[in-house]
Structure 1
Amino acid sequence: MAQFSTSDIAAYAVVLLGTIVYFTRGVYWGVAKEKTFASSYPGTKRNKPAKTRNIVEKLEESNKDCVVFYGSQTGTAEDYASRLAKEGKSRFGLETMVADLADYDYDNLDALPKGKVVMFVLATYGEGEPTDNAVDFYEFIAGEDVSFSNSSDPPLGNLNFVAFGLGNTTYEHYNAMVRNINKALEKLGAQRIGMVGEGDDAAGTMEEDFLAWKDPMWTALANKMGLTEREAVYEPVFVITAAEGLTKDAPEVYLGEPNTMHLEGVEKGPFNAHNPYVAPITESRELFTVEGRNCLHMEIDISESNLSYQTGDHIAIWPTNPGKEVDRFLNVTGLLSKRDSVISIEPSDPTGKVPFPTPTTYDAIVRYYMEICAPVSRQFVATLAPFAPNEQAKAEMTKLGSNKESFQEQISDKCLNIAQTLEEIGGQDKWTAIPFSALIEGLNRMQPRYYSISSSSRVQKSKISITAVVESTHIPGRTDALKGVTTNYLLALKQMQHDDRSSDSNGLSYHLTGPRNRHIGVRVPIHIRHSNFKLPTDPSKPIIMVGPGTGVAPFRGFVQERVAQMKAGENVGKTLLFFGCRKQTEDFLYLSEWEEHKKVLADKFSLITAFSREGPAKVYVQHRLQDYAKEVNELLQEKAYFYVCGDAANMAREVNTVLVKIISEQRGIPESEAEEFVKSMRTSNQYQEDVWS
């Protein structure tokens, strides 16, 4: 046996201690500096979801009078919830907090004191479904056997609540979430204050619907709760301080990374809406043959990620803001010279959350974390008026914030973002007086964009195809085109892959190599969102697909899958695809592929086309659907599944109308009866939509 001296043992102890500190990053020894970032990011060490899941305890310990719960899928409902909480505090002195529905239990809502008020801001997702973070709450409160902590009668007679919903009239179950929750709460004895508000995304009136609802709601709430309105004074939600001693190159400073793992250069799953996988783009190509318009086909490799998808699912692309708009924003707010300064951000209220990782830099926040290119809201313009650089700008901002028509004409119709608005109103003057906290509060955090996957998981398990038109729209009253943030980012990645910088992604520039240049090769951050837009489990069932333009994306995957089923000897039903574009010589997507699929599927596959700009009259997919009325009706009688993908406001609605007409005429029944038949198809999942506004 080896003999060790005292000095040997001491030396080994030092080595062992050093090894432990290194591999634990000092978490047990106070060596590692705590990182501060929002609760939506894995590995959080502060701002975690509430320590207690008891909302009554939380309100009492934080001395709050009002909780604003949100059910949000894309961040808009969360933004409205934050705005309500802030307005309640500034106008009425109401002590408010914002809460994610997923962070709390609900069986003690009956124990809330009568002096408290609960607000619900609830988005409806898909066909009348709750958002992901509101599923448990919805199933609990709308369930048949709701059980609370007390035995009150009625169970929620103590609860005062307010409700606003975010919906889309294109869908049959418009604002179903807020309507169903309101109905369930009232059934349980809860007392609603004011009207139920409903915003319509399809009409583009969501913001105005919200503003029109909230003022009478505040009046009703003030009367009910005995609140006295005061002159609104801006109180920052966040405390922003210079991170002394830190430069942007310091390893603990976030430069656009979404979480700790990415900051430390460790790409580790599970990959999801809080933790993207930075995936290689293995192939990218242009699908259009006309100059001035772009449509991208991309193949994204997920073989090293443990991610999986099913045909019909969605891929989320995590974009970055273009350099041109980043510079514009930093310049107009007077932050251009401070772009690389490191700042720490803390909530001024313990119940608050910082929406992105910190410490970070102004440049990283504006480039990666904030939606600076989104249309600006009228309410936000009004809040910035006191910080105008001169009296003329202050008067104009006040007018725009209070006058719906002026705002529509000068800002909304031109689709101006916040920096463009400040440039327009302030002229050559910089808006240096705006507290940075106000900008964080008034702008949503950057959200991933979802695209229908245009490949079959059966055909290519480890690769995802996407099909996306690059958005570049000329707006009257603007000298530059309105650019889609994500599609132009993808275009820049495609140009990088082909070493083609001639068009410079429509005049924009992006940080394509990611924070700290860690995106080696051509890569894009992604995650997968599972969808209910699915082929029938029985491949012998006929399917009818309507997908003009890039609405054909999921149907490319559907047809690929049917070809694979046919090759495997399975019985495949009739497959009817209605596809529309402008001209067959310019934007006919995947023409050669459809021809190859026809060789395999033979008479089981029919492609019916509509070219809107080739004849004297415009022909759209709904017109071609009517042309094939007899076959469509026969297939529906054979229990065919009917799918629509594309524009919700016009195409999808008109397709629904035409289908009702076809059923009515072909079966000799009243249109009202045909409408009920189509509704029953939707209910049984025989009619499915994957649409967008």
Structure 2
Amino acid sequence: MTSNISKNAFAMLNEQQLTQLSSAASALNKEQLIWASGYLAGLAGAVALPASATETEQTQAVATATLTILYGSQTGNAKGVANKYKAQVESKGVQAKVVSMADYKPRSIKNETHLLVVVSTHGEGDAPDDAVELHEFLASKKAPKLPHLKYAVIGLGDTSYEFFCQTAKDFEQRLSTLGATAFAERLDCDVDYETAISAWSEKVDSVLVDLLKPVQTTQVSSTTPVANAVAESIYTKQNPFGASLSESLKITGRDSIKDIRHIEISLEDSGIQYLPGDALGVYFLNDENMIERIVNATNTDANAQVTLGEESLTLAQALKERLEITLSYPGFIKAYQAATQQQALADLMADKAALRNYLNESQIVDIVEAFPAKVDEQTLVDALRVITPRLYSIASSQAEVEDEVHLTVAHVEYEANGFTHQGGASGYLSTRVEEGAEVKVYVENNDNFRLPADDSTPIIMVGPGTGIAPFRAFMQERDARGATGNNWLLFGNPSFTQDFLYQTEWQGYLKTGLLTKISLAFSRDQAEKIYVQDRLRENAKEVFDWLEAGAHFYVCGDATRMAKDVESALLDIIQTQGNKSEADAKVYLTDMRKAKRYQKDVY
């Protein structure tokens, strides 16, 4: 035991004290040692410091308890919530630190005393990429018991999806199973998460202040929101920029089954900066015809005054500018049924599978027209949730387009319930906004989808459909930087003649040598459908050779099927070409993810 003690111990303790300490420690198990270390630290904090102690030493003696805020985020929302909450509790004297789950060593959780988890959910209840390792670790046999940990969980999600906030529920269940104690009830946030978190924090902040005695130091000011916001744009989700739509051009053929648009937006005079991999948040106005139909079905007055928060406006204004009426969700059905007392709606709510299927193809207008009833204007407003800007992967690099931003947008349009339906933002950008009109936008940074810092690093880009957008930005950026790393694109869509997005540009990059290799998968150009994952498997040896050479692997597009199929193909390639077991292949891919060599931008 003595041999494992730092030499500094001999300077602090005499031989008799050291012997007594070693003897006592040798009789304790691991958990008892952890408890004893905390007990001794508490005794040390109670001992008066000598008058000669410096202010810094006093600060270190007091600042022993820290709130660790762990975030798992695919697009950056959870990160933003974590940083904002850190600044908030620090302003009340609580010491806190923010750590991405991607940078967190899972075994370190045994050392935490107070933990706040902020995490989003993707796909069919999946954890975001940077949370996968910790999420799996806490469910494994390797996870330690956590009887001394106090925690809280904030989940970010969308009630229009079946597995609402599932990852947050998983974290709570796993922490509780390991013996940790919640200091606050789990908060599951819908898309309007700012309001919910504000209300939650009003109750929780005082609990945290009691748990973590305020840090007695004036040095906390270095982490105030003002200091952190210096490099941030003044234009945010709460304060978007009024940009100008420069162009909306259809880039699929006349006979294509898809309507995909190339959108160009001017950011002139905004000072907005973005990086390849970032997303653009786009606000939109709802369709006038849809608003009229909702007003008629609910027998409401479009000119009646309603309130949203502290703002007063007409019902028509609220429905056009502020409320979500294209995406439907269980919360609206519940509120509308409570207001109208229709038994048919109650029966629909009782069958969760039927309700989910109905909501998948129905917008708010379909619901009120199928179940018309007279409702109060304010009741209708209260039943709806606020409009959420849509996020689009940016398809340009400012190194090439300067004060512009480009998007690749699939115009959502389908027939249901006897009417043609459009997506909220995609319909707005594709058909309802004229060139030169204002579009409110902001940049959503995505540090989980970045080009390698070393321009000589090879990259493999898998982006079928509109998933090609960020890779167009990647190529523009690498071209401008004179990057020497090899670049390989795997792109898929239904038809070569109708759906090869940005074909001329990719052929130009091949000709100049910037694009080293392109693998195309046009699913309907032959009897047997071929997808990007099939092209990966066909090129298995070359893919693995690139990975062994340090290549970064990127995936953008559909999260539900494509991204999972690509990952399955990638694991098979690593296993077969690397002569590895299934378990070792998973470790290889996990190591790539931790090194930020495997990144996904999926939706």
TM range (shorter): 0.5 to 0.7
| Aligned mates of 1:170, 1:621 — CA distance in 2 | 23
Q: How does 1:491-506 map to 2 (within 5 A)?
A: 491-493=430-432, 496-497=434-435
Partner of 1:289: 253
Partner of 1:563: 479
| Aligned mates of 1:467, 1:650 — CA distance in 2 | 20
Partner of 2:586: 675
Is residue 529 of structure 1 aligned with residue 476 of structure 2? no
Q: Does the 8 Å contact 1:316/1:527 carry over to 2?
A: yes
| Aligned mates of 1:563, 1:591 — CA distance in 2 | 17
Instruction: Say which SS state the counterpart of residue 409 (structure 2) adopts.
Output: strand
Partner of 1:205: 162
Q: Structure 1 residues 613, 342: closer, same or farther in 2, change over 3 A?
A: same
Partner of 2:108: none
Q: Does the 8 Å contact 1:310/1:457 carry over to 2?
A: yes
Partner of 1:359: 312
| Aligned mates of 1:438, 1:176 — CA distance in 2 | 44
By how many angstroms is 1:181 displaced? 12
Q: Which of residues 262, 277, 286 is equivalent to 2:241?
A: 277
Partner of 1:664: 575
Q: Structure 1 residues 133, 332: closer, same or farther in 2, change over 3 A?
A: same
Partner of 1:134: 82
Q: Structure 1 residues 185, 381: closer, same or farther in 2, change over 3 A?
A: farther
Is residue 584 of structure 1 aligned with residue 549 of structure 2? no
Q: Does the 8 Å contact 1:382/1:400 carry over to 2?
A: no
Q: How does 1:30-179 map to 2 (within 5 A)?
A: 124-126=72-74, 130-137=78-85, 166-167=121-122, 168-169=125-126, 171-172=128-129
Q: What's the TM-score once normalised by structure 1's chain length?
A: 0.58
Partner of 1:310: 275
Q: How does 1:305-454 map to 2 (within 5 A)?
A: 305-335=270-300, 338-343=301-306, 345=307, 354-355=308-309, 358-377=311-330, 379-388=331-340, 394-408=342-356, 411-413=358-360, 415-426=361-372, 431-432=373-374, 434-454=375-395
| Aligned mates of 1:544, 1:283 — CA distance in 2 | 30
Equivalent residue letter for 1:546: V
| Aligned mates of 1:543, 1:204 — CA distance in 2 | 33
By how many angstroms is 1:408 displaced? 3.9
1:592-617 per-position Cα deviation (integer Å, ceiling 9, x unaligned): 11111222226x52111001001111
Partner of 2:190: none
By how many angstroms is 1:328 displaced? 1.7
Q: Does the 8 Å contact 2:247/2:263 carry over to 1?
A: yes
Q: Structure 1 residues 605, 165: closer, same or farther in 2, change over 3 A?
A: closer
1:24-66 per-position Cα deviation (integer Å, ceiling 9, x unaligned): xxxxxxxxxxxxxxxxxxxxxxxxxxxxxxxxxxxxxxxxxxx
Q: Does the 8 Å contact 1:286/1:296 carry over to 2?
A: yes
Q: By percentage of residues, which structure has more helix?
A: 2
1:417-461 per-position Cα deviation (integer Å, ceiling 9, x unaligned): 3332122133xxxx22x3444433332201111111111121122
Q: Does the 8 Å contact 2:71/2:118 carry over to 1?
A: no
| Aligned mates of 1:209, 1:282 — CA distance in 2 | 40
Q: Structure 1 residues 184, 273: closer, same or farther in 2, change over 3 A?
A: farther
Q: Structure 1 residues 190, 672: closer, same or farther in 2, change over 3 A?
A: closer
Instruction: Say which SS state the counterpart of residue 458 (structure 1) adopts.
Output: helix
| Aligned mates of 2:481, 2:117 — CA distance in 1 | 51
Q: Does the 8 Å contact 1:302/1:462 carry over to 2?
A: yes
Q: How does 1:168-247 map to 2 (within 5 A)?
A: 168-169=125-126, 171-172=128-129, 189-190=149-150, 204-206=161-163
Q: Does the 8 Å contact 1:128/1:176 carry over to 2?
A: no
Partner of 1:56: none
Q: Does the 8 Å contact 2:297/2:368 carry over to 1?
A: yes
Q: Structure 1 residues 381, 299: closer, same or farther in 2, change over 3 A?
A: closer
Q: Does the 8 Å contact 2:303/2:314 carry over to 1?
A: yes
Instruction: Say which SS state the counterpart of residue 584 (structure 2) adopts.
Output: helix
Equivalent residue letter for 1:316: G
Instruction: Say which SS state the counterpart of residue 648 (structure 1) adopts.
Output: coil
Equivalent residue letter for 1:293: K
Instruction: Point out where structure 2 has 5 or more consecutive residues left out of the alignment.
Output: 1-61, 97-110, 174-181, 183-194, 196-232
Q: Structure 1 residues 312, 127: closer, same or farther in 2, change over 3 A?
A: closer
Aligned length: 455
| Aligned mates of 1:177, 1:362 — CA distance in 2 | 46
Equivalent residue letter for 2:540: A
| Aligned mates of 2:489, 2:462 — CA distance in 1 | 6
By how many angstroms is 1:274 displaced? 1.2
| Aligned mates of 1:204, 1:127 — CA distance in 2 | 17
Q: Structure 1 residues 667, 648: closer, same or farther in 2, change over 3 A?
A: same
| Aligned mates of 1:277, 1:396 — CA distance in 2 | 44
Instruction: Say which SS state the counterpart of residue 130 (structure 1) adopts.
Output: helix
Q: Which of residues 443, 452, 461 is equivalent to 1:545?
A: 461
| Aligned mates of 2:132, 2:455 — CA distance in 1 | 34
| Aligned mates of 2:479, 2:144 — CA distance in 1 | 46
Q: Does the 8 Å contact 1:315/1:529 carry over to 2?
A: yes
Q: Structure 1 residues 385, 184: closer, same or farther in 2, change over 3 A?
A: farther
Equivalent residue letter for 2:429: L
1:178-233 per-position Cα deviation (integer Å, ceiling 9, x unaligned): 999999997655488xxx898987994135979x99xx9xxxxxxx9xxxxxxxxx
Q: Does the 8 Å contact 2:78/2:120 carry over to 1?
A: no
Partner of 2:422: 483
Instruction: Say which SS state the counterpart of residue 632 (structure 1) adopts.
Output: helix
Q: Structure 1 residues 314, 657: closer, same or farther in 2, change over 3 A?
A: same
Equivalent residue letter for 1:134: A
Instruction: Say which SS state the counterpart of residue 649 (structure 1) adopts.
Output: coil
Equivalent residue letter for 1:331: N
Partner of 2:412: 471
Q: Structure 1 residues 373, 313: closer, same or farther in 2, change over 3 A?
A: same
Partner of 1:595: 507
Q: Structure 1 residues 184, 596: closer, same or farther in 2, change over 3 A?
A: same
Instruction: Say which SS state the counterpart of residue 572 (structure 1) adopts.
Output: coil
| Aligned mates of 2:237, 2:156 — CA distance in 1 | 25
Equivalent residue letter for 2:367: T
Instruction: Say which SS state the counterpart of residue 340 (structure 1) adopts.
Output: coil
Q: Structure 1 residues 329, 287: closer, same or farther in 2, change over 3 A?
A: same
| Aligned mates of 2:302, 2:146 — CA distance in 1 | 51
1:340-383 per-position Cα deviation (integer Å, ceiling 9, x unaligned): 3444x3xxxxxxxx44x622111110111010121131x54234
| Aligned mates of 2:240, 2:157 — CA distance in 1 | 30
Q: Does the 8 Å contact 2:76/2:444 carry over to 1?
A: no
| Aligned mates of 1:173, 1:277 — CA distance in 2 | 30
Q: What's the TM-score once normalised by structure 2's chain length?
A: 0.66
Instruction: Say which SS state the counterpart of residue 675 (structure 1) adopts.
Output: helix
- The alignment yields a C-alpha RMSD, in angstroms, of 4.2
Instruction: Point out where structure 1 has 5 or more consecutive residues left out of the alignment.
Output: 1-106, 111-121, 149-153, 217-223, 225-236, 238-268, 346-353, 498-520
Q: Structure 1 residues 541, 179: closer, same or farther in 2, change over 3 A?
A: closer
